Structure 1
Amino acid sequence: MDNRAGEMQVFLRVVEAGSFSEAARLMRMTPSTVSKLVARIEARLGVRLIERSTRRLSLTAEGRLYYERSQTVLNDLDEVERELSLGAATTGGTVRVNVSVAFGVLALEPLLPEFWQSYPNIVVDLSLSDEIVDLYLDRTDVAFRIGPLPDSGMMARRIGLAHRRIVAAPAYLQRHGTPHSADDLARHNCLGFNFRRSAPVWPLRESGRMSGRTVRGSLLANNGDTVRRLALAGMGLARLADFHVRDDLAAGRLVEVLAGIVAADEEPVSAVYLGGARMPQRVRVFLDFMVPRLQAVLDPAAAPAQ
């Protein structure tokens, strides 16, 4: 039977006690048994962990590494067992989250009260920004991103697709007319973004072919919520994700235009995070809670029946 956790405990006690005999006394084992267990670890790893002398024990470089990693492994094991035995309410710590303004306000924030009912000891450090952050430099645990993901060593969970629509307020359309073709966009104020990754091109379908139409307008903003508010104020056309304008469309505050020629305008939405197999429990439960609920926000038709 594999008992590496038990061997780690013996090794830690030897290091902390300073001798095989004292470790054996504390663990109610014989010195020879303790010595054989440490020798078994060294034989399995193929390295010497402890330099033995008649006066004292000293760790090799490999021994110091094994000691530090063993402490981490055993502490993680204790944490898992403690959380499972006491329940989810004991899971604590801070989860640092970055999310775009619109997705954060409309999708993530409404889920937080329910999350805290299940995990009252977790602090959510929430930053709303439509700029791409570096998870390492900004000490971010989870980032929700809209758009293709670059190749990296980060982990990701697919949430769904954000479909974009071209919308305007009825008052704007009354003043400037409703566009019916791609050529009409040249006569309209098209509200846009100033991200480095964004381009003033709206994908449309013309004569059965996919094409991109360059647009211009009086606004370039760094977040979708500003663009939405100016569209609601009747300042121009806006190209926004459907989750962002769903309620406005249903209430008649905004109207979709050019629906018949808008190309398949969609982008993936993902949760990006660090850690992998060594992800902290607080981050794991946050993702496990949020991802299926956010999937339902993006695709209400796929949400499970209540």
Structure 2
Amino acid sequence: MDNRAGEMLVFVRVVDAGSFSQAARQMLMTPSTVSKLIVRLELRLGVRLLERSTRKLSLTDEGRIYYERSIALLADLDDIERVLAQGAQKAHGTVRINTSVAFGTLAIEPHLPAFWEAHPNIQINLALSDDIVDMYLDRTDIAFRVGVLSDSTLRAKKIGSARRKIVASPSYLQRCGVPETLEDLSRHNCLSFNFLRSCPVWPMHQSGRIIDRIVQGNLQANNGETVRRMAIAGVGIARLADFHIDEDLATGRLVEVLASTGHDSEEVHALYQGGHHVPQRIRTFLDFMVPRLQKFMSRD
């Protein structure tokens, strides 16, 4: 990892302190670590920066240039961080967010208290819906979307990938049997959604390719949480994102079936407006939330 700013800081401390040992004490490092870092820096630059003697350290001509430029660059870095920190503290206004019920409940909501603690002047308008909204007409600032992105002027940050799994409750499987093949699904009550197509389909792996398999059941819902709850209640078989049902699988409330055929991955993105001039309130929310959501999606 490139840590030139860290090397500059150690070098400046050595010069200011006049010795490796004094600089090491100031930075809570060992003298040998400081010495090795300076040697590594000189080797990388291909010049000698310091003349060592038993009594003192002195700068070479190249060392003096590096020292002066380092002080200027470190000051600029401090200034950048100070400006950004002040900007984050001053950020205010409303951020309008649209996301699916499951992703909003499981991924976003748990981080909101910490966000408000860091940014108390930002209000969140959170709309949970599995329907795809028009961000312009709905005045949405950020939308978290699962699936292929359509061409647009929106900017996108990748959050991770969601895998779909086919699941059912133990009580349903005991009552209706465990499907062993895709053809068996025709004999099962398949819980589906009502917002993608007029005829419910599940993309399934078959013969090395993904096919859209028509399914039938007594429920078509507009959100995954309703489908999940009905699956847990033993109503039928569901096809849901892994992050939505990981805990249910771990506790045994749901059991995966047709594991070799039901998986397909869809990328999750944060879409937002703003072009090259993203409002500070939106940038602040994304900077805070995206790394946490990426960790959530990676299951770390």
Same fold (TM over 0.5): yes
SS in 1 for 2:271: strand
Distance in 1 between the 2:227 and 2:85 partners?
A: 48
Separation of aligned partners in 2, 1:96 and 1:246:
28
Q: Which amino acid aligns with 1:93?
A: G
Cα deviations by residue, 1:46-65 (Å, 9 ceiling, x for unpaired): xxxxxxxxxxxxxxxxxxxx
Return the letter of the residue paired with 1:165. Answer: K
1:209-228 Cα offsets, whole Å, 9 max, x none, are: 54332110000000000000
Question: Which consecutive unaligned segments of at least 5 residues does structure 2 have?
Answer: 1-79
Matches within 5 A, 1:108-257: 108-197=108-197, 200-257=200-257
Paired amino acid for 2:264: D
Tell me the alpha carbon deviations over residues 188-207 of structure 1, each in whole angstroms, 9 at most, x when there is no partner. 00000000457522233334
| Alignment size in residue pairs | 221
In 2, Cα distance between the equivalents of 1:256 and 1:232?
12
2:78 is the alignment partner of 1:95:
no
Number of the residue aligned with 1:107: 107
1:284 equivalent in structure 2: 283
Distance 1:183 1:141, change over 3 A: same
- State the secondary structure of the residue aligned to 2:260: coil
CA contact (8 A) 2:179 2:257 kept: yes
Q: 1:82 to 1:136 in 2, by over 3 A?
A: farther
- Paired letter, 1:97: I
- State TM-score, norm by structure 1: 0.68
Q: What TM-score results when the alignment is normalised by the length of structure 2? A: 0.69
| SS of corresponding position for 1:278 | coil
CA distance in 1: counterparts of 2:199 and 2:162, whole angstroms: 18
Aligned twin of 2:297: 298
Distance verdict in 2 for CA 1:209–1:271, change over 3 Å = closer
Structure 1 residue aligned with 2:65: none
Structure 2 CA distance for aligned equivalents of residues 168 and 81 of structure 1: 50
Identical positions, percent: 61
Cα distance 1:85–1:254, how it changes in 2: closer, same or farther (>3 A)? closer
Paired AA for residue 185 in structure 1: L
Whole-Å separation in 2 of the counterparts to 1:241 and 1:272: 20
1:259 & 1:138 partners in 2: Cα distance? 38
Contact 2:101-2:128 at 8 Å conserved across structures: yes
Q: Tell me how far apart the structure 2 counterparts of residues 300 and 198 of structure 1 sit (CA, whole Å).
A: 34
The question of whether the paired residues in 1 share the 8 Å contact of 2:153 and 2:275 is answered with no
SS at match of 1:98: strand
